[in-house]
Amino acid sequence: MRDDTNKPWRGQSWPRTVSGKSALVEPLPHHISCEALHVNFRANPDAVAHFLPPGLEPLEDGAGWVMIAEMAKVSAHQPEQIWRDPSRSSYNECVLGFYCRYGDRIGRFSALVWVDRDWSLGMGAIFGWGKRLGAIDRTRLQSTNPALAGEDVKLGGTVSRHGHHVLSLSVDLPGGGAPLDAMPGHGGSTFLYRYVASPSPDVPDIEQLFELGFTNVRQTGIRQGAGEIRFGSAPDEELDVLGTVEVTGGFTYQRGWTTDRTARLLQDFSTPGQ
């Protein structure tokens, strides 16, 4: 058998080659930012449990959120990409998440994520985010638009997938909204549930629970108003499980952070006995 020790073989993700140039996901860490609409809600904790993986429990108040944002990503190893190839930097994303408990620690779990670029979807296999492709749109708050010249603004966001309405939200900001210093809610940790099925009876499925922190976090321009959420139905969605949720606030903000491979393993379901 050939000696591959002399063969460099690179790429942060498939497809890998000698150069790593073709990899779907670019070298981590990634610097991320968002221009976000965000609605907090409370649902029935039993419904929340439907979306939480083994090891995580819903909070008693069933707290969760939906965020829809225009995003930007830059691989720390490719700083020129943001202006050379913006189709690999700009993307839209929607996250539906829940606050939850792992033992005595409270944190956040991003249960369902929709993005509109494959390279963002490819992060799902690494970090265990439930990413699928969708069409994600939000109001662009461009104040030079004659229709947006007033003080009162109302912004909205929508997600669809394969031609089915997934969800929509709105944030009503009379007078531009009330400025806040920080978002309400539990900062805490972020939990990751990573599952990749095995192609073979010879190896187990990957099934692991992690905790991940972000660095360089910065959040600005938080404004609070009134929020609304509406869930749709689709053959491969199940948001109707949540029923009608109680909205506890609508927000808009900018946020930035750095994502890296620094997660801490909490539990490994793939290795029997661990």
Shortest CB 59 distance to a second copy, Å: 13
Q: Which stretch binds a second copy (CB under 8 A): 11-19, 59-67, 183-191, 243-251?
A: 11-19
CA distance 208 to 6: 32
- Indicate the residue among 103 and 272 with the shorter CB distance to a second copy: 103
Backbone φ and ψ for 148, nearest 5 degrees, come out as -120, 20
Sign for the pseudo-dihedral over CA of 171, 172, 173, 179? negative
Residue whose entry in the numeric block shows the structure tokens 């620094």: 262
CA–chain centroid gap for 135, Å, is 15
Q: Which stretch binds a second copy (CB under 8 A): 59-67, 181-189, 243-251, 257-265?
A: 257-265
Is 109 a binding residue for a second copy by CB under 8 A? The answer is no
Q: Which stretch binds a second copy (CB under 8 A): 59-67, 174-182, 183-191, 250-258?
A: 250-258
* b (16+ CB within 10 A) / e for 142-173: eeeeeeeeeeebebebbbbbeeeebbbbbbeb
Q: Which of residues 134-193 bind a second copy (CB under 8 A)?
A: 135, 137-140, 142-149, 154-165, 168, 170, 192-193
Is 244 a binding residue for a second copy by CB under 8 A? The answer is no
Residue 138, strand partner residues: 157
Q: Which of residues 16-75 bind a second copy (CB under 8 A)?
A: 16-19, 21-25, 28, 31-35, 49-51, 53-55, 57, 70-72, 74
- DSSP label at 101? E
From candidates 151, 182, 220, 272, binder to a second copy by CB under 8 A: 220
- DSSP label at 17? B
Shortest CB 40 distance to a second copy, Å: 18
Is 213 a binding residue for a second copy by CB under 8 A? The answer is no
Contact 254, 221 (CB under 8 A): yes
Strand (E) or helix (H) holding 193: strand 189-196
- DSSP label at 29? P
Tokens of 79: 């700083």
Is 12 a binding residue for a second copy by CB under 8 A? The answer is yes
Is 261 a binding residue for a second copy by CB under 8 A? The answer is yes
From candidates 59, 180, 183, 196, binder to a second copy by CB under 8 A: 196
Q: Which of residues 111-130 bind a second copy (CB under 8 A)?
A: 111-113, 118, 121, 124-130
Residue 30, strand partner residues: 75, 259
Shortest CB 72 distance to a second copy, Å: 4
Q: Which of residues 70-99 bind a second copy (CB under 8 A)?
A: 70-72, 74, 76, 79-90
